[in-house]
Amino acid sequence: MINSLDLPSLLPEFLPFWESVGRSRLSFPRCTECGEFHWYPMVRCPHCQSSAVEWSDVEPEGELYSYTKVCHPFGDKLKEKVPYFVALVTFAGAPGIRLVTNLVEVDEDKLRIGMPVKAVFSGADGENASIAFRPLVGS
């Protein structure tokens, strides 16, 4: 499913995220005052209201928090993609973050909440970059 859809114009707040994905990295906003990560990007920290927010790289591995199997396409471009999996992934290095993403290379019978997953990056720049997650081998 990576790179298979047209992405909308990027909001400026999300640009650092997509730039990091274009470099095969995963980065989230983090407050330098209280140290908390947050998602979605905001000008102020939702935990302490500080404007001292910067982007921090985290390991591109996480844990499957939740998932669903999509069987009905939401538009013509997805007709050939169904079924596919959408997931929430959490990260030990970024507590509190739950990223909505796609799961790829999935054996549905082996999917388990809490299983480790790893990022799969595609694209060479912030405009065309994409990210999905796959179960770690042996999970």
Nearest to 132 by CA among 74, 67, 77, 79: 67
Report whether pLDDT(6) > 60: no
Tell me the pLDDT of the chain averaged across its residues.
88
Show me where the domains of the chain are located.
Answer: 12-135
- Each residue's pLDDT tens digit, 87-111: 999 999 999 999 999 999 999 999 9
pTM (two decimals): 0.85
Residues 6+ away with beta carbon under 8 Å from 49:
none
Report whether pLDDT(139) > 70: no
Structure tokens at 88: 């929430």
- Each residue's pLDDT tens digit, 44-71: 999 999 999 999 999 999 999 999 999 9
Distance (Å, whole) CA 135 – CA 26: 17
